[in-house]
Structure 1
Amino acid sequence: MLSKSLIEDVLTQALSTGGDFSEIFVEDRFTNNMTLKSGKIETCLSGRDFGIGIRVFKGLQSVYAYTTDFSKEGLLKAAKNAAQAINGNRLIHLSPFVQETFETIHPIQLLPQDVAKSRKAAVMKNAYDIAKSYHSSISQVTVRYLDEEQNVLIANSDGKWIEDKRVRSRLAIQAIAERDNQMETGFYGPGAHQGFEFIENLNLDHYANEAARIAVTMLDASPCPSGKFPVIIDNEFGGVIFHEACGHGLEATAVAKNNTVFANRLGERVAPEIVTYIDDGTLQNEWGSINIDDEGEKARKNVLIENGILKGYLIDKFNSRRMGMESTGSGRRESFRFAPTSRMTNTYIAPGKSSPEEIIANTEHGIYTKYMGGGQVNPATGDYNFAVMEAYEVKNGKLGKPLKGATLIGNGPKTLQHVDMVGNNLGHGAGMCGALSGSIPVNVGQPMIRVSEITVGGTKGE
């Protein structure tokens, strides 16, 4: 991508005013986005993005610059601009590069760039037809397709030199059902760190029918009551609550500044013994998985909470300096336009011993949330509110009528402490996470869990 001699010159220039560490991140990314509505391809966009990010540290000072000018003059200018924010004299010399290699843990069989757009469109049309024909009330179906190939090179003044190819594919299906001036929406968006083989092997009947079923079911839903209830949260994307309200609080970006209730609490009990919370970038071909992070560190499994005890944080290279702790391979960024910081990969609650049937049967009265929607969270406090896409009443240990308009309101760390049953049906859901270093692919996951009490916001008058 760039020659070693040129990268040496750039890293040296970045250290010219007294920095003690410099890094270059070279990215070459290819993307394809397609949207199908009303049975026809509405948009079809392809692009290539190439750029270089340059970072300099001096103690607890960090400076970042980026450029799309990959000429020698352009790169040296960007490195000089970054260096000028550092005051001092050059003391550090580059270590010789040691080229690191690894065996990919996310095998790719079919590069999306090698697949004709017509082949991709055929899968989208199939998904559309399945969802549209689910029920006569389905008025609109939108299918979105995404693939990307990201080639990166990371080198730094400590002698690291490592390259990686990341390939991801995703299909998102949204169905809208209408009846008597009422409109409801269902959504499913599976994705993987995998090539086009993932798309061709998808169980379209399952995903397209589920998106449509959610929308149709909610047409007959009753208004959700408000109050404090035991809440059963199903697997897969149900894990978004703990991703947002707890996961972000375990990232070094917050921990290093004491902007989280989890700071300085290693070894303390923060959850019941049945809760183990993990971030694992090594899960084969999962949407949020990585071979290496965006600082060149190998992916790993980080146990954050083990049997209720806080065991660790997600730490990037810069915040490791602030905290006096080693990087956990958690430095991630959207692209060369962002400096990396600590971020999640595949974060999930580990499976427990209860079956979903047992959890429901042991709940006398409460709310069952099958699919979560979007929400908001204050990362400093963990206070959250999340919309529920599909919910049901639980009465006498059995599922009852569907409910609409449900919102879960609470505090992540406190909700974590109120988990009293954990299922054995671990599942992961694909999503995008936006934070300081941009929007990145992540998985959220959990088995079915029960929280003994959550405030549920419902419909007025109920």
Structure 2
Amino acid sequence: MLSKEKAKKILEITLATGADFGELFFEDTKNTSMHLENGLVSKVNSGNEFGCGIRILKKDKCVYGYTNDCSMASLIQLANTLKDSFEGQKEYEVQPLRHVKSDKKHQPKIPYDQVPLKEQLNLLKKGYQAAKDYDPKIAKVDVHFSTTDQKVTIFNTDGKIVTDTRCRGRLYLTAIAKDKDQMQAQGVGPGAQKGFEFFKDEIDIEQLAKDTAKSAIVMLEAEECPAKVMPVIIDNGFGGVIFHEACGHPLEASAVSRNLSIFTGKLGTKIASDIVTAIDDGTIDGGWGSGNFDDEGNKTSRNVLIKNGILQNYLIDDFNGRAMNKKGNGACRRESYKYEPTSRMSNTFIDNGKSTFEEIIVNTKYGLYAKQLGGGSVNPATGDFNFAVSEGYIVKDGKIAYPVKGATLIGNGANVLLKIDMVANNLKRAQGICGASSGSIPADVGQPTIRVSSMTVGGRGGN
């Protein structure tokens, strides 16, 4: 790590032409991955990413640059190049640099670099074999395992020195079922900001693999889903991706501050059903999107975004917060030193309600139960979305009747929030990778089972 004295020298350069803020972001990351394809190891990769990003702010202007040469000469050259983007005289001084105390949560009990490659590979083989043996119609099973050990150090002109370590691992298993000319694929991808203990002691990879294979087999026999407007029950866990994409992104300050969000100027107003409370919590112990600090050195926090239908808060980074007259609330993130940071989600979910899953099913005369969602697309300016349902069932007379395929959920995030009329008490989170202007970052999505009273469902089946 750079010494205080050297860091201060570079930070002084960032303020030389009238800027009011300068920041150094150092990163040292080790990535590993392995891929098991049809029981055979097809890829094993490892790599290191090391470098520094420099950010300079002057009122509503920002410049950013990065380098993988962290020598003093290189950093001085980069700082000089960036500060020349502004014209003016020095107005601010670098404050005395002091370390900010870390809570040191999310520490791995079994670091991945202490686990033999053979033991990691055995984990993948267990998942592969459990899925493959489930049914002769399982034609292919792929298992991917990746780990990241990221160490960051941040210096800024406000006097902060922040260090954080993020150790993450994720396994992704795909099972493909085939019968004659029919094929169906299902996947599962558990991960956490924990060490190997998560996979060894906290999840049952064999059971997850069997459940995934079962879903693929069930969908082989599914009928085509009818196209109509109907109530839709969206299951817990990855079902939260709709809220993440269609509602979460419009609550980020990068959109709100530029009037590019449908939720701009709506703090304190009703934007959702009374039974909806939504939270982004970067402090969850071991959460896939958690951290002790965000990527501009602010402590992560639990931000209640919507409470009982009322918009309470946005996800704010310091830079975009300037236009909103608000300070950052621990929601600034980036993929690596190569990306300028901005407001992003961490672990975002709709909170538990008072109903049970069984009550939601029993109280639905007719509708679609979307148990698993697939890919989709969202217009971030309007919140309009469409998502494929990878595992779906028709609900009739309060019972799950039969599986359907080819269903698509079509709607608008803001409208759907207002149409949620039942929320279960079975909150579950699922892991994903979220892509935006500051790169691809690990993020949890989540929710309990919810029911949307009326939603457009696309499909090719009849009534």
Task: Give the TM-score, by structure 1 length.
Answer: 0.99
Amino acid at match of 2:251: L
Does structure 1 residue 211 correspond to structure 2 residue 212? yes
For residues 312-369 of structure 1, the C-alpha deviation after alignment (integer angstroms, 9 at most, x for no partner) is: 0000010111110121100000000001100001101110010000000000000000
Does structure 1 residue 24 correspond to structure 2 residue 24? yes
Match of 1:237 in 2: 238
Match of 2:8 in 1: 8
Amino acid at match of 1:148: T
Amino acid at match of 2:381: A
Match of 1:400 in 2: 401
Within 5 A, what are the aligned runs for 1:103-118?
Answer: 103-118=103-118
Amino acid at match of 2:280: D
Match of 2:224 in 1: 223
Q: CA deviation at 1:460?
A: 6.2
Amino acid at match of 2:409: L
Q: CA deviation at 1:263?
A: 0.4
Match of 1:39 in 2: 39
Match of 2:191 in 1: 191
Match of 1:259 in 2: 260
Match of 1:431 in 2: 432
- Give the fraction of aligned pairs with identical amino acids, expressed as a percent: 48
Match of 1:312 in 2: 313
Which secondary structure state, in structure 2, belongs to the residue aligned with residue 284 of structure 1? Answer: coil
Within 5 A, what are the aligned runs for 1:80-229?
Answer: 80-201=80-201, 202-229=203-230
Residue range with higher mean Cα deviation, 117-126 or 100-109: 100-109
Which secondary structure state, in structure 2, belongs to the residue aligned with residue 198 of structure 1? Answer: helix
Contact 1:188 1:210 in 2 (8 A): no
Alpha-carbon separation, structure 2, partners of 1:124 and 1:373: 23
Which secondary structure state, in structure 2, belongs to the residue aligned with residue 73 of structure 1? Answer: helix
Match of 2:369 in 1: 368
Match of 2:74 in 1: 74
Within 5 A, what are the aligned runs for 1:294-373?
Answer: 294-373=295-374
Q: CA deviation at 1:105?
A: 2.3
Alpha-carbon separation, structure 2, partners of 1:26 and 1:304: 31
Q: CA deviation at 1:420?
A: 0.2
Contact 2:199 2:205 in 1 (8 A): no
Match of 1:459 in 2: 460
CA RMSD in angstroms comes to 0.9
Contact 1:247 1:344 in 2 (8 A): yes
Amino acid at match of 1:81: T
Contact 1:272 1:420 in 2 (8 A): yes
Contact 2:126 2:206 in 1 (8 A): no
Contact 2:373 2:388 in 1 (8 A): yes
User: Measured at CA, do residues 347 and 168 of structure 1 come closer, stay the same or move farther in structure 2, by a change above 3 Å?
Assistant: same
Match of 2:284 in 1: 283
Residue range with higher mean Cα deviation, 107-116 or 37-46: 107-116
Which secondary structure state, in structure 2, belongs to the residue aligned with residue 389 of structure 1? Answer: strand
Q: Runs of 4+ in structure 1 displaced over 3 angstroms?
A: none
Q: CA deviation at 1:461?
A: 6.0
Which secondary structure state, in structure 1, belongs to the residue aligned with residue 5 of structure 2? Answer: helix
Alpha-carbon separation, structure 1, partners of 2:320 and 2:411: 29
Show structure 2 runs of 5+ residues with no match: none
Amino acid at match of 2:99: Q
Match of 1:382 in 2: 383
Amino acid at match of 2:33: N
Q: For this pair of structures, how many residues does the alignment match? A: 462
Alpha-carbon separation, structure 2, partners of 1:429 and 1:8: 41
For residues 21-42 of structure 1, the C-alpha deviation after alignment (integer angstroms, 9 at most, x for no partner) is: 0000000000101000121111
Q: CA deviation at 1:299?
A: 1.0
Which secondary structure state, in structure 2, belongs to the residue aligned with residue 151 of structure 1? Answer: strand
Q: CA deviation at 1:205?
A: 2.3
Alpha-carbon separation, structure 1, partners of 2:3 and 2:40: 45
Alpha-carbon separation, structure 1, partners of 2:460 and 2:85: 54
Contact 2:350 2:447 in 1 (8 A): yes
For residues 130-174 of structure 1, the C-alpha deviation after alignment (integer angstroms, 9 at most, x for no partner) is: 011011100000000010100000110000001011000111000
Contact 2:295 2:341 in 1 (8 A): yes
Which secondary structure state, in structure 2, belongs to the residue aligned with residue 149 of structure 1? Answer: strand
Which secondary structure state, in structure 1, belongs to the residue aligned with residue 47 of structure 2? Answer: strand
Contact 2:316 2:329 in 1 (8 A): yes
Match of 2:420 in 1: 419
Alpha-carbon separation, structure 1, partners of 2:371 and 2:261: 29
Alpha-carbon separation, structure 1, partners of 2:312 and 2:439: 27
Amino acid at match of 1:252: A
Alpha-carbon separation, structure 2, partners of 1:58 and 1:70: 24
Alpha-carbon separation, structure 2, partners of 1:271 and 1:180: 46
For residues 108-129 of structure 1, the C-alpha deviation after alignment (integer angstroms, 9 at most, x for no partner) is: 1011112121111011011100
Alpha-carbon separation, structure 2, partners of 1:67 and 1:378: 33
Amino acid at match of 2:232: V
Alpha-carbon separation, structure 1, partners of 2:394 and 2:92: 64
Contact 1:368 1:393 in 2 (8 A): yes
Contact 1:364 1:396 in 2 (8 A): yes
Residue range with higher mean Cα deviation, 79-88 or 436-445: 79-88
Q: CA deviation at 1:103?
A: 2.2
Which secondary structure state, in structure 2, belongs to the residue aligned with residue 293 of structure 1? Answer: coil
Match of 2:59 in 1: 59
Alpha-carbon separation, structure 1, partners of 2:10 and 2:47: 27
Alpha-carbon separation, structure 2, partners of 1:106 and 1:65: 30
Which secondary structure state, in structure 1, belongs to the residue aligned with residue 140 of structure 2? Answer: strand
For residues 44-88 of structure 1, the C-alpha deviation after alignment (integer angstroms, 9 at most, x for no partner) is: 000011010000000000000000011111111111111111121
